[in-house]
Amino acid sequence: MRLKIFSVFLLAAIAISGHSQNELITNIAARKTFSLDGKWQYIIDPYETGFTDYRFKERSEKDAEAYWNTDIPANRSDRKEHGFIAKYSLNVPGDWNSQDAKFLYYEGTVWYRKLFNYKKSNASNHLYLYFGAVNYKADVYLNGHKLGQHKGGFTAFNFEVPDSILKEENNNLVVKVDNKRYADEVPALNTDWWNYGGITRTVQLIELPQNFIQDYSLQLASSGQTIKGWVKLNSFTPNEKITIEIPELKIKKIINAENAISNFSINISSIQRWSPEDPKLYNVVISTASNLIREKIGFRNIEIKGTQVMLNGKPIFMRGISIHAEVPQEVRRSYSKADAEMLLGWAKELNCNMVRLAHYPHDENMVRVADSLGILVWSEIPVYWTIDFKNADVLAKAKSQLSEMITRDHNRASIIIWSVGNETPVNETRNNFMHSLLSTAKLMDSSRIISAALEVNYASANAIKTIDDPLGKYVDMVSFNEYLGWYTGLPSDITKTTFNTIYNKPLFISETGAEALSGFKADSLTRFSEEYQTWFYKEQIAMLRNMPENFVGICPWILADFRSPRRNNPTYQEGWNNKGLIDQHGKKKPAFFVLQSYYAEMKQKFETQNN
C-alpha cells in the first residue's frame, strides 16, 4: 500500500512541477551500470545563448545554434558559435565552484557535454540515464533530442533512453545546468550555505531487462517476529515468480508477482537487530527470472512511545551533530564514499550516535556509510526559511523532492527521521503548507519519525521558553533550533533559560552553536574566539542538564566550518560560517572536546540505564 502512495505522489508532483523523469531506479550500485563520470566539456552561458535566440525566444529543438545540437561545422564555411573542447573541461561528479576560480560565485547556466559509445548488451533491454544530483535545474539532451528536465539540487533522477535516439558511437550527451536561485523554488532565494552548481553527483547509464525490479522494501515488524515487505516490478508476466533470500537467516521466500506491487511477509525465529552499538547488515538477494539484485539491509525497530524515542524497544538519547555536504579542506560538495567516511568518521570521534544531514538529502554514500558505521540519521528536504508557501507549484516541488528522498533511501536502517523543513516562519499559509508536507511524508513512510525544525516562542516572559509552534500538532517529535548565547545574549545567559513544549511528545534540539575562528585565541568574552565557543558549549551543556524528561537529544550546529555568502566579517568569517567544531583544514577546535566529553558521559548513562 505504501509504495502505491508514494508513486502516486511522485507522479502527481512530476506532472504539476513539469518534470518528466521516469520513476527512480533504486540501488544503482547493484545494477548493470556504465559510468559517465570523468571529464565533461563545458560552455559558460550567463546570457542563455544556447537556449534562446537574439530575441530571447526559446530555440526550436532543430535550431543549429542551440547548444544541444552538434558543434561540428558541416563544412569550412559553416558558422558555428558554440563548441565543446577539452580545454574547457570539468570533472563530474563535482560542483563547478571549486574547480576553477572563475566559477567561485557563478550563478547561472553551464552547458556540459559528454561524448560516449554504448552498445546495449541485449537489444530488448531498457537503458536509463541516471543522475545522482544536479544543482539546480537540469535540461538533458541526447543526440539533439530532449530527454527531460529535473528541478531540485539534491535528489536523484533518471530518464529512459529510447533506442531511436541511442547510437553505438559518439553519443552527444548535453546537459544544461542552471543554479540560479528563485523565490518560487525549493530552496528559495536565501540560504546560509554556498550555492554550489553543477553535476554534483555521479552519472550512470543503467541497463535493465524488459521486466526488472524497480524497487523493494524489507522492514522488521515491531513484533520482531516478521519481516514485511514488497517488491515493485516495472512490468511482469502473469505468474512470474519473485524470490527474496536472506541466506544468513536461511530465508528463501518465493511469491507470485501480482500487479506492479507484490507484498510479502516472512516469519523469523530470531534476528540480530541493527543499532549504533551493533550495526548488523544482512545480505539480501531479490530475484526474478530475468533480474537479480543484491542489497545490504539492517533490521531495526524505531518508534515513539509516550515522550521517548525507542530503538529496538529501548529509549535512546540522540548524541547528534549537524553536517553540511561539504569537504571543508577542499571547499567542495561531498559526493564520494571517502568523503562520507571522513565526515562520519569525525562524528564517531565526537562520540555521536546520530547526524543531521542538513539541509537537503546528501549523496547515497552518506546514508550507506551511516548504515555500516551504525549512525542514526535525520534526513531532510530544503524547505528552508522563507519559501513561497502560498504557491501550489512550490508545494508540488517540495513533495517531489520529498518523494525522491524517500524513494532512494527508504531501505536504509540508519535513517530514522524524515524532516520536511527548517526554521520556517509561523503563519497560517506556512502552517497549511507544512502540514500538507508532514501528512504526505507520513503517508509515504509511516515507519519513521516525521519532524521539522520548528520555531521557539521567545515571547514568554519567564525563564522557560516554550515550543508552541502549531506544527507541533502534526510532527512525531518536536524539534527546534536555539542559539541562546550566540544570537541572543552571552553564554552566561544560557543557564538562565531552558525549554519545554506544550505538546506531549519527545523534545529535540536540532541546532545550537557559536562561531570560532580556528586559532583565534582571546578571553572568553571575545566574540569569534575559540574561548568564546568553548564557554558557549560548557554553558549549553549545563543548560541541557535542566531540560525536561521528554528531552531526547541534541544536534549542535555544526561538525565543520562551511562556506556561506552571508558571512562577511572580513576578519573572522571571509565567506565562512565558522560554527564548526572542526575547522576548514580538518583541525578540531577546543569546543570539539567539550562536546565529545559530554557525549561520552551520556553514552555511559544510557548504556547503564538500558542494561
- How is residue 36 written as a grid cell? 559517465
**Residue closer to ligand GCU, measured from CB, 208 or 475:** 475
Binding residues among 244-273 for ligand GCU as defined by CB under 6 A? none
Contact between 192 and ligand GCU per CB under 6 A:
yes
Place of cell 521567545: 458
**Residue closer to ligand GCU, measured from CB, 286 or 434:** 434
One symbol per residue from 278 to 297: x for binding ligand GCU (CB under 6 A), - otherwise; what is it? --------------------
Binding residues among 377-396 for ligand GCU as defined by CB under 6 A? none
Q: What is the DSSP letter of 54?
A: T
- How is residue 486 written as a grid cell? 550566540
**Residue closer to ligand GCU, measured from CB, 359 or 465:** 359
**Closest to 344 measured CA to CA, from 330, 319, 361, 323:** 323
Q: What residues have CB less than 8 Å from 67, skipping those under 6 apart? A: 43, 45, 49, 50, 51, 82, 111, 174, 176
Q: How far is the CB of 370 from ligand GCU (least distance, A)?
A: 20
**Residue closer to ligand GCU, measured from CB, 14 or 355:** 355
Contact between 185 and ligand GCU per CB under 6 A:
no
Q: How far is the CB of 241 from ligand GCU (least distance, A)?
A: 49
Report the residue from 136, 274, 474, 557 that binds ligand GCU according to the rule CB under 6 A.
557
Q: How far is the CB of 477 from ligand GCU (least distance, A)?
A: 17
Q: How far is the CB of 244 from ligand GCU (least distance, A)?
A: 41
**Residue closer to ligand GCU, measured from CB, 232 or 579:** 579
Nearest residue to ligand GCU, by Cβ distance, number only: 192
Spatial separation of the C-alpha atoms in residues 462 and 259, rounded to whole Å: 59
Report the residue from 371, 380, 511, 530 that binds ligand GCU according to the rule CB under 6 A.
511
Binding residues among 457-486 for ligand GCU as defined by CB under 6 A? 481
User: Helix/strand/coil (H, E, C) string of 424-447?
Assistant: CCCCHHHHHHHHHHHHHHHHHCCC
Report the residue from 59, 150, 579, 589 that binds ligand GCU according to the rule CB under 6 A.
579
Report the residue from 27, 351, 422, 534 that binds ligand GCU according to the rule CB under 6 A.
422
**Residue closer to ligand GCU, measured from CB, 129 or 358:** 358
Q: What residues have CB less than 8 Å from 284, skipping those under 6 apart? A: 218, 244, 245, 246, 294, 295, 296, 297
Angle at 157 between CA 151 and CA 159, to 5 degrees: 105
Q: How far is the CB of 546 from ligand GCU (least distance, A)?
A: 22
**Closest to 407 measured CA to CA, from 18, 25, 28:** 25
CA distances from 176 to 110, 154, 179 (A): 6, 16, 10
Q: How far is the CB of 478 from ligand GCU (least distance, A)?
A: 16
Spatial separation of the C-alpha atoms in residues 586 and 566, rounded to whole Å: 22
Q: Is residue 481 classed as helix, strand or coil in its secondary structure? A: strand
DSSP states of 264-333? EEEE-S------SSS---EEEEEE-SS-EEEEEE----EEEETTEEEETTEE--EEEEEE-SEETTTTEE
Report the residue from 217, 400, 424, 577 that binds ligand GCU according to the rule CB under 6 A.
577
Report the residue from 423, 445, 469, 561 that binds ligand GCU according to the rule CB under 6 A.
423
Chain centroid to Cα 578, Å, comes to: 22
Contact between 539 and ligand GCU per CB under 6 A:
no
Q: How far is the CB of 539 from ligand GCU (least distance, A)?
A: 18
**Residue closer to ligand GCU, measured from CB, 264 or 572:** 572
Neighbours of 506 (CB within 10 A): 26
**Residue closer to ligand GCU, measured from CB, 262 or 564:** 564
**Residue closer to ligand GCU, measured from CB, 544 or 555:** 555
Residues recorded for the chain = 611
> Residue 599 in contact with residue 352, Cβ under 8 Å?
yes
Q: How far is the CB of 453 from ligand GCU (least distance, A)?
A: 6
Give the full edge-to-edge strand order of the sheet including 226-233.
213-220, 226-233, 261-267
Identity (one letter) of the amino acid at 288?
T
Binding site for ligand GCU (CB under 6 A): 192, 359, 422-423, 481, 511, 557, 577, 579
